[in-house]
């Protein structure tokens, strides 16, 4: 019996020596080294978040220009509302389908397949000419956000329970930054194109065409992979909200909206660190408590934001009577 135990321990040591990161008995990494690309764990980590980053950037490149697109396509408030709802429903339906897809094919093939299938939808966005086609494009384009499920599934397969929360958080946080980067960059690209005396109706179409770079990057990541809710709503409407409610220009609205997405670089990793800490002390109940507190604070913050208006942020001049 002792000999068998010794043999099993030796086999386990041999398996562990094969990897650059320390692993547990299930061969899951017990450390997260953010500045390493050592295969298979950290290489998978970086490929996963890069692919999802490009998905977020491409999908959320429309909202920061929605104020211009709305005027050009003569979209009513009802049309923009239906487009936002369609985008939200598209992401929900695709995420539900992604779970079984990951179980059946594995996260790598699931990510690559969905990215390659949704990529052809990105280019026709700059060619839409009617409210109905715009709504359909928004619905289909948001399918790519289902890669979020595969991303988290993959991280859970690669990292042990002692660091899985942190791995999930850093991977999702870096990827979700794509929604902030696009809110910042797209209005600047639009303004740059307009500076060459390009008409507005053509400028926003050319600006949307520029995001193809990120889809090409996604193609490269997908080839490597082959060979090797509240957030959605906020990112969809926040630029238009500040543009309409506070009378700021497109660039300023984009900068404000970008702060929501860019905050993921810090907020998600912080949440993962807190979640892992609570789990070590209180188990799964601790993770649930932390989630409840975070959601409650976020909800109250949204209510507070809704109370602000131009009059609150900008003091009106006093008029003597």
The pLDDT score that the predictor gives to residue 83 is 92
Query: Residue 153: what pLDDT?
Result: 95
Average pLDDT of the segment spanning 258-269: 80
Comparing 195 with 314, which gets the higher pLDDT?
Answer: 195
pLDDT value of position 123? 72
pLDDT at residue 99 greater than cutoff 80: yes
β partners of residue 159: 29
Q: CA-CA distance, 174 to 171, in Å (whole number)?
A: 6
Q: Which residues pair with 29 in a beta bridge?
A: 23, 159
Classify burial at 7, counting beta carbons within 10 Å of its beta carbon; exposed 0-12, middle 13-18, buried 19 or more.
exposed
Split at pLDDT 50, 70, 90, the class of 316 is: very low
Looking at every residue in the chain, the average pLDDT score rounds to: 82
Structure token digits, residue 209:
């065409």
Selected residue with higher pLDDT from 214 and 76: 76
Could you give the angle at the alpha carbon of 240 between the alpha carbons of 234 and 246, nearest 5°? 110
More confident residue, 307 or 31: 31
Q: How confident is the model at residue 42 (pLDDT cuts 50, 70, 90)?
A: very high
Alpha helices, DSSP H, located in the chain:
2-16, 41-59, 66-72, 77-105, 107-122, 131-141, 147-158, 164-194, 200-209, 212-227, 230-245, 250-262, 264-282, 284-306, 310-313
Q: d(Cα 162, Cα 277) in Å, to the nearest integer?
A: 9
User: Mean pLDDT across the stretch 25-38?
Assistant: 91
What are the pLDDT digits (tens) for 117-127? 887 777 778 88
Q: Quote the pTM value.
A: 0.76
- Non-local (6+) Cβ contacts of 271 within 8 A are 169, 290, 294
What is the set of domains in the chain, with CATH numbers?
46-299 (1.20.1250.20)
Residue 113 has pLDDT above 60, yes or no: yes
Would residue 320 be called left, alpha or beta, if left means φ above 0 and alpha means ψ between -120 and 50 degrees? beta
Residue with tokens 């949204």: 302
Asked if pLDDT for residue 128 goes beyond 60, the answer is: yes
Q: Is the peptide bond before 176 cis (omega within 30 degrees of 0)?
A: no
78-82, 96-100, 174-178, 271-275: which has the minimum mean pLDDT?
271-275
């Amino acid at each position: 019996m002792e000999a068998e135990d010794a043999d099993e321990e030796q086999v386990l040591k041999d398996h562990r020596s094969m990897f650059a990161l320390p692993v547990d008995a299930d061969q899951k990494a017990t450390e997260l080294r953010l500045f390493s690309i050592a295969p298979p764990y950290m290489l998978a980590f970086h490929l996963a978040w890069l692919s999802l980053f490009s998905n977020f950037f491409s999908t959320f490149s429309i909202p920061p220009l929605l104020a211009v697109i709305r005027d050009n396509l003569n979209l009513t408030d009802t049309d923009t509302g239906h487009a936002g709802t369609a985008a939200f429903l598209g992401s929900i339906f695709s995420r539900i389908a992604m779970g079984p897809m990951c179980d059946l094919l594995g996260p790598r093939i699931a990510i690559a397949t969905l990215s390659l299938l949704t990529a052809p939808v990105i280019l026709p966005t700059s060619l839409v000419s009617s409210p109905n086609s715009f709504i359909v494009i928004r619905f289909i384009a948001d399918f790519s956000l289902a890669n979020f499920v595969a991303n988290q599934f993959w991280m859970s397969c690669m990292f042990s329970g002692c660091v899985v929360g942190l791995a999930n958080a850093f991977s999702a946080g870096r990827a979700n930054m794509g929604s902030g980067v696009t809110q910042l960059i797209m209005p600047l690209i639009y303004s740059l194109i307009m500076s060459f005396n390009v008409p507005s109706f053509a400028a926003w179409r050319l600006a949307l065409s520029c995001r193809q770079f990120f889809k090409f990057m996604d193609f490269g990541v997908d080839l490597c992979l082959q060979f090797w809710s509240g957030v959605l709503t906020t990112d969809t409407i926040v630029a238009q909200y500040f543009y309409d409610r506070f009378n700021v220009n497109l660039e300023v609205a984009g900068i404000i909206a970008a702060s929501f997405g860019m905050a993921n670089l810090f907020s998600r990793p912080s949440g993962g660190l807190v979640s892992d800490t609570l789990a070590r002390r209180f188990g799964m109940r601790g993770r649930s408590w932390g989630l409840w507190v975070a959601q409650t604070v976020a909800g109250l913050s949204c209510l507070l934001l809704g109370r602000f208006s131009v009059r609150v942020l900008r003091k009106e001049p006093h008029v003597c009577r």
